[in-house]
Amino acid sequence: MRIFLKYKFLYSHKIQVDIDHILLYLLNIYIKIINFFFLFFILTITNIFADDFIDFENWKKDFKKRALLNNISEKTFNLTIKDSKFLPNVIKYDRYQPEFYEDTKTYILKRSSNKKITKGINFFLRNSDLINTVEKKYDVEKELLLALMGIETNFGTYVGKMDIYPR
């Protein structure tokens, strides 16, 4: 059984007010303040993503112009880009790449070792036909291709923190 006690006190103007009315009034103000900050937060975040969305849409339009100028058909471009969307985490991760904040010596020492060279050689031996085909077809030196694969994916064993392909 709940017992409610009604306390009364006198304001300086001799107006009698119930404490629970004051508490309800203060609670109402508190809720309005929380709602205001929540709404402010939502509108701010929405505005940030809206700006990113507009920038991304503008980028897609500019990229389409460049693609069409480079003999990519409009059909191919539209098919390729139709499911693309702005992913804020991709930008966040891109801006925090170790090559931007580590000095060259640290960067190279962390990413090169005899073990990694051996892994690269073994990877090449298992995939030499494909790598040689890519080198010839796209005019990319196999050494550069293997170096990038080693740095970016550890020869296919690390593919990132998030799936960026739309499903």
Higher pLDDT, 3 or 105: 105
pLDDT for 54: 80
pLDDT for 87: 81
Lowest mean pLDDT, pick from 2-6, 11-15, 65-69, 112-116: 2-6
- Whether 12 shows a pLDDT value over 60: the answer reads no
d(CA 32, CA 20): 18
Residue 17's DSSP bridge partners are 9
pLDDT for 44: 57
Question: 80 and 141: one domain?
Answer: no
- Print the domain residue range for 7: 1-84
pLDDT for 121: 92
Q: Look up residue 59 and give its two tokens.
A: 């980028």
Q: Look up residue 137 and give its two tokens.
A: 């077809």
Total of domains in the chain? 2
Half-sphere exposure of 7 (CA within 13 A, CB side): 6
Share of the chain above pLDDT 70, in %: 67
d(CA 19, CA 11): 11
d(CA 38, CA 32): 10
Per residue, the 3-state secondary structure of 48-62, as one string, reads: HHHHHHHHHHHHHHH
- Whether 3 shows a pLDDT value over 50: the answer reads no
Question: 68 and 106: one domain?
Answer: no
124-148, pLDDT tens digit by residue? 999 999 999 999 999 989 999 998 8
Question: 54 and 91: one domain?
Answer: no
20-65, pLDDT tens digit by residue? 556 666 666 767 676 666 665 555 555 555 567 788 888 889 989 9
Do residues 143 and 131 touch, judged by C-beta distance below 8 A?
Answer: no
Domain closes at, from 84, 102, 133: 84
pLDDT band at 99 (very low <50, low <70, confident <90, very high): confident
Domain closes at, from 36, 61, 84: 84
pLDDT for 95: 77
Higher pLDDT, 145 or 100: 145
